[in-house]
Amino acid sequence: MPNSQYEKLARGALLEITTDASIGALVGEQIESEGTVSVLFASALPGYPGWNWTVSVAHVEGQDPTVLEAELMPAEGALLSPDWVPWSERLAEYKAAQAATEAADAEKAAAEEADDDLDDDDDDDEFGSSVLHGGDLDGVDIDASDDDESDDDDEESDDDYDTGAFRGGDHEGVSVDDLDESDDDDDDDDDSDDAELDDDDDESDDDDDDDSDEED
């Protein structure tokens, strides 16, 4: 495994111009001239396969080493075109890659759907339990509250009917039964008046008959 006494210094210089992810492993070092050395790192930068990061370091005896320059340089064969691949092989590789992508997407979608089903089951369990019902608020069972109110209303209605305060057919506080009794009294009065009128008529007729007999 290659090593260099200037690796730490050279890597620090590269971090000033690029990211750590774009710097690969140490390739080695090259002696350029007396007191000058180039430290090489493999490039991990997308689009630059086969290239090297190159850092030139000057080291004069009796002094600390210093960085002269840092740059990205092509390695041997990096500028040559890749070997020719027939179209049929490239198409097959493309289709295989597409199929793998679709399979991964389908698997991901199935996993998400399964998670959604589990969440729905959990929600159903919560709503189906006595702890929480649909429409409950702050721990209060609204269904039970509605039932209690309905029972109270029914009891009040029964009390009204039992006490006679309100009976079937009553309207706006007027008892229909009282109205019926009043109507009956009126009918009796009318009948009495009619009977008296008939008696008066009969007496008048008798007087007329007596007068006629006297004249004769």
Give the range among 56-60, 73-77, 81-85 with minimum mean pLDDT.
81-85
What are the DSSP calls for 89-145, one per residue?
A: HHHHHHHHHHHHHHHHHHHHHHHHHHHHHHHHHHHHHHHHSSS--TT-BTTB-HHHH
Q: 141-194 pLDDT, tens per residue?
A: 556 556 666 666 666 655 555 554 445 555 555 555 555 555 555 555 555 555
Q: 187-209 pLDDT, tens per residue?
A: 555 555 555 555 555 555 555 54
